Amino acid sequence: MGLVITPLVGVLLDRWNLRYVLLTTQLTSIVLSSTLTFLTLSDRITVTWIIIIDTLQGTVKAFDLPARQVIIPRLVDKKADIYSAMASHSFLINTAKFVSPMIGGFLIASSGAASCFLVDSISYLPFLSAILTIQVKPVVRNLSDRKAQIWQNLKEGFVFAYEFLPIKSVLALQIVICFMAMTHVNLMPIFAKEILSGDAKTMGFLMTASALGSIVSGFYLVSRKQAIGLEDIVARSAAILGLSLIVFSRINNRPIQGHPVIVQAGSSEAGQDLAAQTAEAIFTAQQTLAEAQNFYSSVKGRLSKYGRSPDHLKIMPGVFPVIGRTEEEAKEKYQQLQQLIHPSVGLGLLSGLIGGHDLSKYPLDGPLPDLPDTNGGKSRLQLITDLARRENLTIRQLYLWIAGARGHRTILGTPEQIADQLEDWFVNDGADGFKIMPPWLPGGLDEFVDLVIPELQRRGLFRTEYEGSTLRENLGLPRPVNQFSKVASPELAGASR
């Protein structure tokens, strides 16, 4: 809107009272910001409303900014001070641009957009007060100037700008800068959200950083006493801006993994759909190979619906291994660990895993009662209930089983027996890998690394050295494609289980 009417505004401002123009623009801005506040608070804000108000604000700015520039010379007594006044005005505006995005970002993040619109509407009041109190020197014009046709004046302005080389060159440079370089400002919200995974605060900091450079420039301009020589500075600044954007566009600042590996936990229908759509690994808790195979095929079968390959999601059940030189030693070690569990601790853990149901009013050596559904861990409640019914476990036996493995699979035996069970699940599509949950630290983990890992390596089931330097590479997951890149990443073709 400003592009269309700004040239005409320049002609009109020569005929109008600037005080009334600025009063009108400030009052209109207050009304528009207040309207945005009301629409946001009443939850009536829509894209249509935003477009309408943006159009009106563009129209207001087309009058407001030129009027401010025109009125400044009329406020200064000495002609020699006009340049300093203009530079000071620019400095103050850029200072506001430095502070306001940061404040706006905090306001939006903490109180919502409505509070930001409200503060914006209030911010016009000091300038409104200043316009009412300042003295503006009148400009005496000839009667013939007043009667001149608007379109004739507009034509004269264009002809003068075209034929006067300094103005023509500066305007041409400004057009190129706005068309080729300044459009990056419109991409800042996308950059803040998608690349930096930020919010309104992030956007505020980005805009603040941009305004900081303007403040430094403002200091320089205020320190200068004349405008002669600024054309060279404008040209150099444009060159620096262009080179900076070129360098910035070539920087590969994505994390080495693209983004961290996304791990999901949960086996409900909703959880499986969520994992198939977004996750790259699932931490799950099946108890038997048949259950694991059903879950494995169910989740892997959903991936095609979201355009994903089965290799792009790793299913990794939790395993609680208790290792001994003999099977009897492993069982004895497990019983020693179980005896360390205090009843109140075990009962609290069990209650937490079944949705917070209070079991303290039931006998510990009695069966698990029928429990109502929960909005918590539905799959974990079902798993524990099925186990209690299948194994005919009491509440005490159930919490003893829960306290160690937290509902995950417990395996006891020699290193070879542990490896047998892991291999059985892995080769029969029950798991892509396992999340090892040592019974104690660091000893339990040391035993698994020193005794079970060598056996798995001997069978060719576990690596002897890492494939890469990141978790993503060692899980065999592809580096995610940059959604802003036109060419798909070749790593997608190299993913393997």
User: Do residues 307 and 426 lie in contact, with contact meaning Cβ atoms separated by under 8 Å?
Assistant: no
* Topology, domain 263-494: TIM Barrel (3.20.20)
pLDDT of residue 495: 36
Instruction: Label each residue of the chain as H, E or C.
Output: CHHHHHHHHHHHHCCCCHHHHHHHHHHHHHHHHHHHHHHHHCCCCCHHHHHHHHHHHHHHHHHHHHHHHHHHHHHCCCHHHHHHHHHHHHHHHHHHHHHHHHHHHHHHHHHCHHHHHHHHHHHCHHHHHHHHHCCCCCCCCCHHHHHCCHHHHHHHHHHHHHHCHHHHHHHHHHHHHHHHCHHHHHHHHHHHHHHCCCCHHHHHHHHHHHHHHHHHHHHHHHHCCCCCCHHHHHHHHHHHHHHHHHHHHHCCCCCCCCCCCCEEECCCHHHHHHHHHHCCEEEECCCCHHHHHHHHHHHHHHHHHHCCCHHHCEEEEEEEEEECCCHHHHHHHHHHHHHCCCHHHHHHHHHHHCCCCCCCCCCCCCECCCCCCCCCCHHHHHHHHHHHHHHCCEHHHHHHHHHHHCCCEEEEECHHHHHHHHHHHHHCCCCCCCEECCCCCCHHHHHHHHHHHHHHHHCCCCCCCCCCCCHHHHCCCCCCCCCCCCCCCHHHHHCCC
Distance CA(357)–CA(354), nearest Å, equals 6
User: Do residues 99 and 11 lie in contact, with contact meaning Cβ atoms separated by under 8 Å?
Assistant: no
pTM score over 0.75: no
The pair of three-digit structure tokens given for residue 278, joined into one six-digit string: 């977004």
The C-alpha torsion from 346 through 288 and 472 to 483, rounded to 10°, is -100
Task: Give, to the nearest 10 degrees, the angle between helix 289-302 and helix 269-278.
Answer: 50
pLDDT of residue 488: 39
pLDDT average per 10 residues of sequence, the chain (497 residues)? 62 77 90 91 88 87 81 73 68 66 70 83 86 73 56 73 77 75 70 66 70 70 67 78 74 74 88 92 92 95 92 94 94 90 84 78 85 70 81 85 81 96 96 94 94 96 91 90 50 35
Burial 232-271 (b: 16+ CB within 10 A, else e): eeeeeebeebeeeeeeeeeeeeeeebbeebeebbbbeeeb
Show me where the domains of the chain are located. 2-250, 263-494
* Strand pairing class (314-323; 409-413): parallel
pLDDT of residue 497: 35
Instruction: Give which of 330, 306, 328, 312 is closest to 320, Cα–Cα.
Output: 330
pLDDT of residue 94: 63
pLDDT of residue 462: 95
